[in-house]
């Protein structure tokens, strides 16, 4: 979950695995992350956990801004952007390891359901856990 080189443990930029992001909440195989650096929010390129889904949170809003899926080799395969338009679609999906290498499109019915599931977890379960703590 970090440094653009999770499978090797260190990135091409010299960042050690696990130092680029901070996990805020975990439910099922979904992790909600914030980026540690002040640069533009980037999603993890790779993961060490098979089937993991990462939800990136906005720096200012602390709300979900993107959802990232990974393939059988634990490399990013698609990203759903929730907060901005692309080709007139909001939310929209970018397909491929590199952000838009295989194009983009609107969401499928299954993806729309999953986005609702993510938002329900974040706004109902996480927020209620924080209030009770």
Tens of pLDDT along 98-124?
877 888 999 999 999 999 999 999 999
Contact call for residues 4 and 18 (beta carbons, < 8 A): no
Residue 55's nearest CA partner among 130, 120, 133 is 120
Question: pLDDT value at position 13?
Answer: 62
Distance of CA 72 to the CA centre of its chain: 17
Domain ranges of the chain: 21-132
6 pLDDT more than 60: no
Whether pTM > 0.75 for this model: the answer is: yes
**pLDDT per residue over 16-61, tens digit each?**
666 789 999 999 999 999 998 877 778 898 898 998 999 999 988 8
**Would you place residue 15 in the very low, low, confident or very high pLDDT band (cuts 50, 70, 90)?**
low
């Amino acid at each position: 979950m970090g440094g653009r080189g999770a499978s090797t443990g260190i990135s091409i930029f010299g960042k050690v695995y696990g130092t680029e992001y901070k996990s805020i909440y975990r439910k099922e195989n979904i992790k909600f992350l914030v980026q540690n650096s002040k640069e533009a929010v980037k999603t993890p390129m790779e993961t060490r956990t098979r089937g993991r889904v990462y939800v990136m949170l906005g720096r200012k809003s602390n709300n979900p801004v993107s959802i990232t899926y990974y393939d059988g080799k634990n490399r990013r395969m698609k990203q759903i952007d929730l907060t901005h338009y692309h080709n007139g679609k909001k939310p929209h999906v970018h397909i491929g390891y590199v952000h838009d290498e295989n194009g983009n499109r609107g969401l499928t019915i299954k993806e729309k359901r999953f986005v609702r599931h993510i938002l329900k977890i974040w706004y109902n379960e996480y927020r209620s856990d924080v209030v009770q703590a």
